[in-house]
Structure 1
């Protein structure tokens, strides 16, 4: 479930306590040190199985994880933060790093640290159990408190994926969360292993990281009717045969994955009351179905109703009719 918190409407004199409670709930217990002037902050977060994804934007302030807080609430977790806007100074384990826009940093929640944001900043943060990395603890400690470029190597895959993930926090379905969480941490582990010159902890991690990179690309281009295996393979410098092999290992096909995700987006838009006046054909075209008749046939095969009838069911009887049509669609699939 998506959690949202905003300082708007909170009296200025109450914002330090409010924001401390917000970040302590979303991350781990922290102290928030706000400036004397006005402070603004907005946070969105959701859970994907065992990991949390947090998108947070603030004006200047400090966040501190003190020894007292570590002792009172250990978590055995790591945080990976991508600086989307602005930057900050991170100190942990005797190291200080200036992390700038487009860069990332890893920090250990079971060691004291502080972050100093001296300007408006936006970060996308992953909070996940340390054990999920599958890398030696002492070696992971070598990369905490250091800036990691998001423009080269595996970092160039991680940074844009985190941005897309943050943009779709309210679209990620719970049933997909656990698998997605594993793939996300695999990608992070591959990035850290590369920086430490270590082999991947899991021999299959590189394959899953490649698949995650490919599906992120596909997700970003779902609206393009020309999205096909040849284009996807070329964009990732692999053969179409290897591309099909990757999806076969997931018990699906490239075409089925694209069709399913396109239809899921169409369903979301058809249910959206703010798009009630938008033509059904326009929704289909937006998500890669330019032929209205073809879109209608595919939709009915998946959900048991035409797109037009599906939308009508939302308006007339709501959840009950939709539940029946969803069940029928799953049975037919």
Structure 2
């Protein structure tokens, strides 16, 4: 299965000011996923966006007067890839509604939501926020696990959510200088921080997490720790968790993927990041591939090209 990529967008910093509310609806759909936008003050509406794509992650700063957006079942039916979005409220307040939960977000607060399920975001007055959007498989956590935290307010005043919020805020203030290998590295760091924050949030209320989701997290963590092992297989993973391979396959089936495809995508993403990392510039492509469990250089090259549309060497050169 080819590794997922973000919606087509410019790698350069883009800035757009809405000239009308119809124009705003177009900007919202182009920057994120298709949404239905409404406002009670069409003539007085003002809105602008600054955005950048960092590897597989879109970072968008949104400033707008009173309005709301809806992700409806009809719009979801048109969708291709599944994304998660993380909101950091910077100014004003916002109301996020998903899965019969409501999160009132004040400055500094964070909340995550799933573009594959209906949601509403409403702003009664002018507000500013950072929106980080990424494919659901960009996190090592199972989608169902993340879904249990949809529309749950994570206070930005303290703890890990405060650290993550400050990191994302710094990204928003430096969008113009984030590019190339350093931008990709920061994107990876940001998603690692988000994963850690979500782990911590679920630890606060572990009873909300189903046993199957706990197992899925444990399995993924085990796989991530052993990606360099070329002998990693469904049988070895199942044995390490004292479950049958059939049970293991069912765990991944519930997340809409397979064990083999998830291992492959994680290895490819790891190799892809390392090839662009200045710290590993002295490593040969073959050495990078071997470090992620690919012992056959030709097979790695074909698989990499199939996933990303470019050879490993061309990717390293920035082609």
Q: What's the TM-score once normalised by structure 1's chain length?
A: 0.57
Q: Please name the residue that 1:76 is paired with.
A: 82
Give secondary structure in 2 for the equivalent of 1:149: coil
- The separation in 2 between residues aligned to 1:45 and 1:177, in whole angstroms, is 13
- State yes or no: 1:164 paired with 2:164: no
Q: Please name the residue that 1:123 is paired with.
A: 129
- State yes or no: 1:27 paired with 2:32: yes
Query: CA RMSD for the aligned pairs?
Result: 2.4
Give secondary structure in 2 for the equivalent of 1:165: helix
- The separation in 2 between residues aligned to 1:46 and 1:111, in whole angstroms, is 25
- The separation in 2 between residues aligned to 1:108 and 1:94, in whole angstroms, is 13
Give secondary structure in 2 for the equivalent of 1:147: coil
Measure how far apart 1:99 and its partner are: 1.5
Give secondary structure in 2 for the equivalent of 1:170: helix
- State yes or no: 1:6 paired with 2:17: yes
Measure how far apart 1:203 and its partner are: 7.9
- The separation in 2 between residues aligned to 1:203 and 1:99, in whole angstroms, is 35
The higher relative CO (CA closer than 8 Å, separation ≥ 6) is in 2
Residue deviations 1:45-76, cap 9 Å, x none? 00000000000111110011111111112431
Measure how far apart 1:202 and its partner are: 4.6
- The separation in 2 between residues aligned to 1:188 and 1:130, in whole angstroms, is 12
Measure how far apart 1:31 and its partner are: 1.2
- State yes or no: 1:144 paired with 2:150: yes
- The separation in 2 between residues aligned to 1:202 and 1:160, in whole angstroms, is 26
Cα 1:204–1:121, aligned 2, differ >3 Å: closer, same or farther? farther
Structure 1 stretches lacking a partner, 5+ long: 206-249, 253-333
- The separation in 2 between residues aligned to 1:48 and 1:63, in whole angstroms, is 25
- The separation in 2 between residues aligned to 1:90 and 1:159, in whole angstroms, is 17
- The separation in 2 between residues aligned to 1:48 and 1:159, in whole angstroms, is 17
Q: In the alignment, is the contact (CA less than 8 A) between 1:74 and 1:110 conserved in 2? A: no
Q: Please name the residue that 1:227 is paired with.
A: none
Q: In the alignment, is the contact (CA less than 8 A) between 2:66 and 2:124 conserved in 1? A: yes
Q: Please name the residue that 2:23 is paired with.
A: 18
- The separation in 2 between residues aligned to 1:202 and 1:164, in whole angstroms, is 28
Deviates most, 196-205 or 127-136: 196-205
- The separation in 1 between residues aligned to 2:80 and 2:102, in whole angstroms, is 22
- The separation in 2 between residues aligned to 1:157 and 1:88, in whole angstroms, is 21
Which of 1 and 2 has greater Rg? 1
Q: In the alignment, is the contact (CA less than 8 A) between 1:75 and 1:109 conserved in 2? A: no
- The separation in 1 between residues aligned to 2:116 and 2:38, in whole angstroms, is 20
Q: Please name the residue that 1:235 is paired with.
A: none
Displaced runs of 4 or more, over 6 A: none
Structure 2 stretches lacking a partner, 5+ long: 1-11, 204-213, 225-277, 281-319
- The separation in 2 between residues aligned to 1:42 and 1:150, in whole angstroms, is 24
Give secondary structure in 2 for the equivalent of 1:154: helix
Q: Please name the residue that 2:120 is paired with.
A: 114
Residue deviations 1:206-234, cap 9 Å, x none? xxxxxxxxxxxxxxxxxxxxxxxxxxxxx
Q: In the alignment, is the contact (CA less than 8 A) between 2:108 and 2:162 conserved in 1? A: no
Measure how far apart 1:174 and its partner are: 2.2
Give secondary structure in 1 for the equivalent of 2:188: helix
Q: Please name the residue that 2:195 is paired with.
A: 189
- The separation in 1 between residues aligned to 2:198 and 2:223, in whole angstroms, is 16
